[in-house]
Structure 1
Amino acid sequence: MADSQELISFIAQMTGESNLRVEENLGEGYVRLRVSEAERRQAKHDIQHVEDMVIELLRNARDAGAQHIYVATYRDDDLRKVVVIDDGCGVPEDIQDRIFEARVTSKLESMHMDRWGVHGRGMALFSIRQNCEEARVITSGANLGTALYACADTSVLPERADQSSWPVVEKDDEGRHVCARGPHNIVRTVAEFALEELHGCEVYLGSATEIAATLYQHAHRALDASQLLFLDSEEQLPVVDRLGYAADAEDFMRIACSIGLSLSERTAHRILAGTIKPMRSVAARLLRERTAAPQESAVDLARDRRGLRITRDDLQAFARTLERDFAELGDRYYLSLAQEPTVRVRGDRITVTFDIHKDE
């Protein structure tokens, strides 16, 4: 026994602890695994199908206090790619990679028990990263919500063959809506979660285009145009509202990419023009509920609905002109520009912002 322990210690020193799976050789073919190896094996057991990964991402968003969760997913050859965007409490920048480590959790004093088991052990995101090709936070911040990306190789982590069918919903003996029939695919996984959290949060499921259109409409309703004038960047907004900051299709495409939704410029134009409609929530679709349409005002046929478009070069030239003209005012009031003026075009309005220093 002593010789075995010495050998283990020698190997640990030569190769590093990460390459050593055994903490103690007990004899008779029995060993005590190191904590890291035990965690890795548990993680492999926790996530056995793509659908397991999806439910863990949903539970993670719910436990972060999200009231709205948006799931964009698509298949690229053998790769299943999933983006989950939520309006929960968010993750501070300096901890965004560490949340994928084992036993890292924000739930020191609490845990969540639901139909899928215990949540709050700090193992869900660790399990996802162990079983996926990639898992990372795309963007987040304290009180700003989160966009999280996961990519699984379905030849290693399998998924159901039928990923398009929606489940049939019926009432059980207690009068609750449940998924009664249908393949146990990603759609059903999200549907079961949406029904379980029917009065807790709304869940949306679709392609990147469908989710982008839905986020844009929700942000457009929630944001006041006046508050956007005082923002330097969309990153100051919650993740779910950032598409509402887009001034044009090029801007929309850039912001969508920054939250994990890849779109073409043509698709961005169609969303801004309203030709791609937003989605109903998963629960609303399952329960055949109609989403209340916003009250439409009378159509002004004389109104020019063409968006104002100014080239980037012309905007930069305009900004340089304004910077020169500011010099006279600055000399009179002892002011100087902190940076060149910011010019934004939104609808039929051009907004110019001067960031200034007061000279001593």
Structure 2
Amino acid sequence: MADVSGLSQFIDQATHESRLRVESDLGDGFVRLRVSEAERRQAKQDIRCVEDAAIEMLRNARDAHARSIFFAASKSGSIRRFTMVDDGDGVPEHLHETVFEPRVTSKLDSLTMDDWGVHGRGMALYSIKANAEEAFIASSAAGQGSSFVVTFDTTKVVERRDQSTLPDLVKALDGFWSVGSSPHNIARTVAEFALANRKKCTVYFGSPVEIAATLLAFGRSSHQSAGMVSFEQVAPSKRLACASDSQQFAHIAAGIGLEMSSRSAHRILQGQIKPLPPYLESLSRRREGDTGTRSSKRAVGRDYRGLKVAQEDVDDFSADLKRAWRELADRYFLEGDVEPAIRISHDSVHVTFPVRKQL
């Protein structure tokens, strides 16, 4: 009988794993997980600097299925402020405070492992709030996205001293991109996230005023007619397009966590402050091995010792190389559908094929 009881218990555990991991169902897809006190204490240590908080906020938006993330950073004295607006799943109003409690998540069955570790335990927002001066949802609606605001006192939670240096993007000989050597500041943190997740979401990064100008353009590009509805009914990421004048623009911006003067709002509406491009597009690019010269996507068409190679000739050359590579790849069980990296220097032409074995 004991064996039968033990078997029944095992089957119950195996077939009700989700139930056993959930302490309470909060509704609207959110749950509170069972997490030990040791894990709760460890979570507070996850935020060692403001850059850690930035990456946790970005990961949270990505895991909420955001396709566009607008990340504003500003500093006044020792106070660092982040405002992040996204077009993800959003948070129901009755859970705006609850999501900052430990073990609360909407990702019961989608634990994520990425370049920064495990995500989805329901501890990220708790960790941020435990270390921040304030952390709150300025605006959110289920299915329409959210706006999160977090402030830190950098005398308590440190940040990198050099916050002005922007990173660049480096293209390796095998064609893969990475973030170049630079201080591990907020700008680099956002760049690393944007690059790693470029197929999942687009990240915009700048000052609150720049992000507001970008959100205005984002809202205007929507097919929704701003004049047909009250701005409170519009998604936070598109709400600024509802403003009829600078005073209302500043009011709506404050409502999503972007504080600014009416003068700044007026400059945005007059087009004096331009919307930002996607963050990755704004960064300088260079090829691996280059030290002082930035390169663009058409670097292979530069003039080297009087030789100017037209882009169409480079494309034809690349096509011929790919045909030859496919024949070789078939003989040695390699993947044939790869892109060659072509680099023209002052005295040579370099061609590199990434070697990937067939499974």
Residues 58, 164 of structure 1: alpha-carbon distance in 2 compared, 3 angstrom cutoff: same
Q: State the partner residue of 1:256.
A: 253
Q: State the partner residue of 1:268.
A: 265
Deviation at residue 229 of structure 1 after TM alignment: 3.5
Q: Which amino acid aligns with 2:232?
A: E
Q: Could you tell me whether the CA contact under 8 Å between 1:39 and 1:102 is conserved in 2? A: no
Q: State the partner residue of 1:166.
A: 166
Report the Cα distance in structure 2 between the residues aligned to 1:285 and 1:275, rounded to whole angstroms. Answer: 19
Q: State the partner residue of 1:148.
A: 148
Q: Which amino acid aligns with 2:266?
A: H
Report the Cα distance in structure 2 between the residues aligned to 1:198 and 1:145, rounded to whole angstroms. Answer: 19
Q: Could you tell me whether the CA contact under 8 Å between 2:68 and 2:202 is conserved in 1? A: yes
- Quick check: 37-46 or 70-79, which moved more? 37-46
Is 1:221 the counterpart of 2:221 in the alignment? yes
Report the Cα distance in structure 1 between the residues aligned to 2:132 and 2:251, rounded to whole angstroms. Answer: 26
Q: State the partner residue of 2:211.
A: 211
Q: State the partner residue of 1:117.
A: 117
Report the Cα distance in structure 2 between the residues aligned to 1:53 and 1:174, rounded to whole angstroms. Answer: 33
Q: Which amino acid aligns with 1:128?
A: I
Report the Cα distance in structure 1 between the residues aligned to 2:102 and 2:173, rounded to whole angstroms. Answer: 40
Deviation at residue 37 of structure 1 after TM alignment: 5.1
Corresponding residue to 1:238 among 212, 235, 248: 235
Report the Cα distance in structure 1 between the residues aligned to 2:196 and 2:86, rounded to whole angstroms. Answer: 17
**Identical columns (%):** 49
Deviations, residues 205-232 of structure 1 (Å, cap 9, x unaligned): 11110000111012112244xx33431x
Report the Cα distance in structure 2 between the residues aligned to 1:276 and 1:264, rounded to whole angstroms. Answer: 14
- 5 Å-filtered alignment, 1:12-161, equals 38-161=38-161
Q: State the partner residue of 1:298.
A: none
Q: Which amino acid aligns with 1:194?
A: A
RMSD: 1.7
Deviation at residue 76 of structure 1 after TM alignment: 1.4
SS state of the match for residue 222, structure 1? coil
- Quick check: 265-274 or 48-57, which moved more? 265-274
Deviation at residue 39 of structure 1 after TM alignment: 4.2
Deviations, residues 10-32 of structure 1 (Å, cap 9, x unaligned): xxxxxxxxxxxxxxxxxxxxxxx
Deviation at residue 178 of structure 1 after TM alignment: 0.8
Q: Could you tell me whether the CA contact under 8 Å between 2:69 and 2:86 is conserved in 1? A: yes
Q: Which amino acid aligns with 1:214?
A: T
Q: State the partner residue of 1:182.
A: 182
Q: Could you tell me whether the CA contact under 8 Å between 1:169 and 1:181 is conserved in 2? A: no
Report the Cα distance in structure 1 between the residues aligned to 2:284 and 2:165, rounded to whole angstroms. Answer: 16
Report the Cα distance in structure 2 between the residues aligned to 1:77 and 1:280, rounded to whole angstroms. Answer: 28
Q: State the partner residue of 2:304.
A: none
Q: State the partner residue of 2:196.
A: 196
Report the Cα distance in structure 1 between the residues aligned to 2:98 and 2:36, rounded to whole angstroms. Answer: 15
Report the Cα distance in structure 1 between the residues aligned to 2:171 and 2:161, rounded to whole angstroms. Answer: 27
Report the Cα distance in structure 2 between the residues aligned to 1:134 and 1:172, rounded to whole angstroms. Answer: 41
Deviations, residues 150-205 of structure 1 (Å, cap 9, x unaligned): 11111111000011111122124653211121000000000000100111111111
Q: Could you tell me whether the CA contact under 8 Å between 2:83 and 2:150 is conserved in 1? A: yes
Q: State the partner residue of 1:326.
A: none
Q: Which amino acid aligns with 1:275?
A: Q
Deviations, residues 52-73 of structure 1 (Å, cap 9, x unaligned): 0000000000000001101111
- 5 Å-filtered alignment, 1:285-296, equals 285-286=282-283
- Quick check: 276-285 or 188-197, which moved more? 276-285
Please, which runs of 5 or more residues in structure 2 have no aligned partner? 1-34, 286-295, 298-359
- 5 Å-filtered alignment, 1:338-349, equals none
Report the Cα distance in structure 2 between the residues aligned to 1:173 and 1:126, rounded to whole angstroms. Answer: 42
Is 1:281 the counterpart of 2:278 in the alignment? yes
Q: Which amino acid aligns with 2:46?
A: D
Q: Could you tell me whether the CA contact under 8 Å between 1:44 and 1:127 is conserved in 2? A: yes
Q: Which amino acid aligns with 2:105?
A: T
Report the Cα distance in structure 2 between the residues aligned to 1:168 and 1:287, rounded to whole angstroms. Answer: 5
Deviation at residue 77 of structure 1 after TM alignment: 1.0
- Quick check: 280-289 or 182-191, which moved more? 280-289
* TM-score (norm: length of structure 2): 0.68
Q: Could you tell me whether the CA contact under 8 Å between 1:43 and 1:131 is conserved in 2? A: no
SS state of the match for residue 183, structure 1? coil
